[in-house]
Structure 1
Amino acid sequence: MDTYEEALSWIHGRLRTGIKPGLSRMEWIMERLGHPERRLKAVHIGGTNGKGSTTAMLRSILSEAGYEVGTFTSPYIEQFNERISINGTPISDHEITLLAQKIRILADEMEDMSFGGPSEFEIITAMTFYYFAYVRPVDIVLFEVGLGGRLDSTNIVHPILSIITTIGMDHIQFLGDTLAEIAFEKAGIIKNGVPIITAVEQPEALDVIERVAKEKKAALYLNGREFSGTWLSSTEHGEQFGFQSSFSIHGQLETGLAGLHQVNNAALAIMAVDYLRAFYSFFIEEEHVEKGLKNIHWPGRFETLYEKPLIIADGAHNEEGINALVQTIHQRFSDRNITILFAAMKDKPLDKMIQQLKGVADQLYFAPFDFPRAAQKEDYEPYTDEKSSIVQDYHQQIRLFQKLAKETDVFIITGSLYFISTVKNTAFFSI
């Protein structure tokens, strides 16, 4: 494995092992690497929706304040390297290659062990811990949970702060089919004595979060109770809101991300900043918060890809994400003609997601695409009707929209973040 291409091929080849919940493989790797996870000052961020946006907002604020911020996020949108970044800049191809070489030695050794070789996600997680501990130390690292929390490979970290954004019915085949069961898995990231910030609302899920926090003697900061964000108005590219906690008051702030749900994500990020400032002496002023939120860019989150005609990409990959997208469409484009291009994973609740989209779309297209878990033509056929159809060439559909669209038309590409990544990496946004 001497080249970047060979490194990526090996990493992606581990997808064949599937999802492998459990921490035994990661614990073994960390032991062999000298426990890099113990060398980091980290924030651990889990939840069903909003993890990526909250991570991006917190990173942007801390970067504005002059800190070096490492992030571990998934999936990637524009390039694989962005999963491991410093202040939003992905690490280099050379660094990816060197990290993969380091972890592959251990991965090969694990193949003959009882727990087997690591999954793709475990390999990338191990690369991240090693990188920020030994190769490129930073002031703080933000770790986004991959799946669930309790058995996620990131959960070997002992952070200074944990965040659980929301709870929703997603990945039920792994996490359980009730909100309480899913909340239990998400609450698995709560550590002894480590404060937890959350925007969870459903009583049955919140009961679990509160119980676990009490058992772990972890201070709980709840959105709407210990802190709150209040929406004020929408701007061209984001939302204006006010924020209040026992640590700070902001009369008017603005996010660079659109959608009412981004106010909650921003409130979580600001509460995290307040905590870091109050208990870990991070020097963060009001102007850092203001600029960090306003200047944020997070690919695939209600992102404008093309302005005339208007084409937007939003990775609403589950039922809750679609619900947030629908609210944003109602809020911003109630008087516009809406065309939606939708592609999702076949293990998602397609019926509920499509039903919501049909409520706002004047024309809805389903797009099968090349990905192991992606829904295909036969999965979409039950949902076709006079305004909903399957397209085999979504590139052509987008070009056709660009050619024929009127000023009042909006084209929204949504569903799987893997699909958004595929679309964004195909350079066709010109006629």
Structure 2
Amino acid sequence: MSTHDRDAQREAAANLDLRRRMREVEAAILDRAPENDIDPTLERVREVLDLLGSPQTTAPIVHIAGTNGKTSTARMVEALAMEAGLSTGRFTSPHLHDITERIVLSGRPIDARRFVATYDDVLPYVEMVDARSQAEGGPRLSFFEVLVVMAFAAFADAPVDVMIVEVGLGGTWDATNAADGTVCVITPIALDHQAYLGNDLASIAENKAGILEPGSIAVVAGQEPDAAEVITERVDELGIRAAYEGRDIEVLSRELAIGGQLVTLQGIAREYPDVLIPLHGEHQAHNALLAVAAMEAFMGGGAEGLDPDLVREAFARVASPGRLEIVRRSPTVLVDSAHNPAGARSLAAALRDSFTFGRIVGVLACMTDKDVDGILEELEPVFDEVVVTRNTSPRCMPAPRLGELATEVFGEDRVHVVPNLPDALDVAGGLADSGESGGVIGGVVATGSVITAGEVRMLLGVTDV
């Protein structure tokens, strides 16, 4: 055997071992309490981070909370920071395809080797805190808590110049709140996760405003009055500076453009005209505004503007996979991660605003614990027909039950129940195509959860993030 062959054989064996170890690590993390199982304390995460030498303090943090738009805003902040020459660490959730997508180093998901190494580095400290917690009758660190610890450890090890951290659920008791944000962004707040956060906007806003820290700068999206009042009270209580959409920052103009939209943004310090955002939907213009204001606050405390050409260059390349994303043509198939009524409302508005379909067929799979009736009511005016199905999550609502709910909103003639997602896509494609014979352009929109969007992307061969 030649030296080349032996080297190739060793490399193949090493890659096989890495894949096996990656599966073991992911299984071990998934074996913990799921990320929607919230225990209202930061004690365990803080204890592990202290044992690790406080990696969350090695770079300033842009911390992002809210109901919808967090991931897109985080990606836009990342794009601006990288265009400014900064190395970045981005933590977002949930993932579309692979758990490594949650920890991103300068625009690239952490590779499997580094992911495994980070897990192995933090595991002894996680197990120490697990043992202490269980001895006192408490739980082990959850799935999400372990990933937060890993993210901060990976960012410190890289190292990065800025950490861009998306809250998982809520704010006050979210594991990411074990770190202090230099800039704290609050995207629009709506009803979601009521079992954990409260049944009204004021309660939810109070929890999400828990990320605001003494000495931080707040960037706040336009909010409903009840949520706005709570956030303003928290800002005033802390005595921190804040930039509010509609008062200090604003989307001055917006028009449709090929592949996206052209906007003019009024940031904290200056105006940014003629910025092309290659994403669909008015909500993405507002996410871009928050990102620009956050970077103005981060780079110069809000006193100095960014270079407008830097903003244009950064946003020209920004992407938000799974968010009103075209994943196939003929018929056109879009995926969107809308998983609550507010998200569905933004999706419906974007479909009216940015697309010219004469006929839209929805593919819908939702989680049982979501406001499915609210989602259906928002989508009914824009979906001509809907194919209800389920994704692979055990939390997904069974297709027959979703069909019953959809029939109450859409009527029996517009609802098709298909038990599995691949077949549902085929049925929806056929329904969309059937309208085109009469000169009507049909489209398919798959939505209802991040998992649904991710699985449709994968079924259609789209896996890049």
1:176 counterpart = 2:173: no
Spell out the pairing of 1:51-66 with structure 2 (5 A cutoff): 51-66=70-85
- Aligned residue for 2:32, secondary structure, equals helix
Q: Deviations over 1:359-385 (max 9, x none)?
A: 111111111222132111343123222
Matched, 1:318 2:340: yes
| Aligned mates of 1:356, 1:37 — CA distance in 2 | 40
With structure 2 as the length reference, what TM-score do the two structures score?
0.87
> What aligned pairs does 1:187-198 form with structure 2 within 5 A after superposition?
187-198=209-220
Indicate which of 226, 230, 242 corresponds to 1:220: 242
Aligned residue runs from structure 1 range 144-183, under 5 A: 144-183=166-205
Q: Are 2:269 and 1:247 equivalent residues in the alignment?
A: yes
- The change in CA–CA distance for 1:16 and 1:268 in structure 2 (over 3 A counts) is closer
- Contact 1:369–1:376 under 8 Å retained in 2: no
Give me the whole-angstrom Cα distance separating, in 1, the residues matched to 2:252 and 2:303. 27
What secondary structure sits across from 2:459 in the alignment?
coil
1:24-423 alignment runs, 5 A limit: 24-109=43-128, 110-111=130-131, 112-114=134-136, 115-133=138-156, 135-279=157-301, 284-333=306-355, 335-380=357-402, 381-384=404-407, 385-402=412-429, 405=433, 406=436, 408-423=441-456
Say if 2:429 and 2:444, in contact at 8 Å, map to a contact too.
Answer: no
Task: Provide the C-alpha distance between the structure 2 equivalents of 1:334 and 1:173, rounded to a whole number of angstroms.
Answer: 38
> Hey, what does 1:8 align to over in structure 2?
26
Deviates more, 1:301-310 or 1:15-24: 15-24
Partner of 1:14: helix, strand, or coil? Answer: coil
- Range that drifts further, 19-28 or 150-159: 19-28
Equivalent position amino acid for 2:353 in 1: Q
- Bigger drift between 101-110 and 365-374 goes to 101-110
* 8 Å Cα contact 1:180-1:208 kept in structure 2: yes
Could you tell me whether the CA contact under 8 Å between 2:181 and 2:216 is conserved in 1?
A: yes
DSSP 3-state at the match of 2:378: helix
In 1: Cα distance, 2:241 partner to 2:302 partner: 15
In the TM superposition, what whole-angstrom CA distance separates every residue of 1:185-243 from its partner, at most 9, and x where no partner exists? 00000001211001132111111101111111111110111111134211232122111
Cα displacement string for residues 336-394 of structure 1 (whole angstroms, at most 9, x for unaligned residues): 21001011111111111112212111111111222132111343123222101221132
Larger Rg: 2
| Distance in 1 separating the partners of 2:32 and 2:374 | 32
Q: Which runs of 5+ in 1 are unaligned?
A: none
**Contact 1:62 1:284 survives alignment (8 Å):** no
SS for the counterpart of 1:141 is strand
* 1:16-57 CA-partner distances (Å, limit 9, x unpaired): 583333201111111211111122211100000110111111
Q: Please say if residues 89 and 160 of structure 2, whose CA atoms lie closer than 8 Å, have aligned partners that are also in contact.
A: yes
Q: How far, CA to CA, are the matches of 2:124 and 2:41 in structure 1?
A: 21
Deviations 1:243-302 (A, max 9, x none): 113411122212121101111111101111222232399995221100211211111011
Kept in 1, the 8 Å contact 2:268–2:296? The answer is no
AA aligned opposite 1:55: A
Q: Does the CA-based 8 Å contact 1:257-1:297 persist in structure 2?
A: yes
- Cα distance in structure 1, aligned partners of 2:291 and 2:72: 9
Sequence identity (%): 28
Task: Give the letter aligned to residue 12 of structure 1.
Answer: L
- Letter of the structure 1 residue corresponding to residue 420 of structure 2: D
Contact 2:269 2:303 in 1 (8 A): no
| Preserved contact between residue 181 and residue 212 of structure 2 (Cα < 8 Å) | no
Equivalent position SS for 1:122? helix
1:169 positional shift: 0.3
Tell which deviates more after alignment, 272-281 or 117-126.
272-281
The runs of at least 4 aligned residues of structure 1 exceeding 6 Å deviation read 280-283
CA contact (8 A) 1:231 1:260 kept: no
Cα distance in 2 between the residues matched to 1:410 and 1:331: 15
The code of the aligned residue for 1:346 comes to T
Please say if residues 192 and 217 of structure 1, whose CA atoms lie closer than 8 Å, have aligned partners that are also in contact: yes
Report how many aligned residue pairs link the two structures: 428
Letter in 1 for 2:312: E
1:231–1:263 contact (8 Å) kept in structure 2: no
Say whether the 8 Å CA contact 2:363–2:428 is kept in structure 1. Answer: no
Root-mean-square deviation over aligned CA pairs: 2.1
1:384-429 per-position Cα deviation (integer Å, ceiling 9, x unaligned): 2210122113212323555672370110011100121122223468
Q: What letter matches 1:116 in structure 2?
A: P
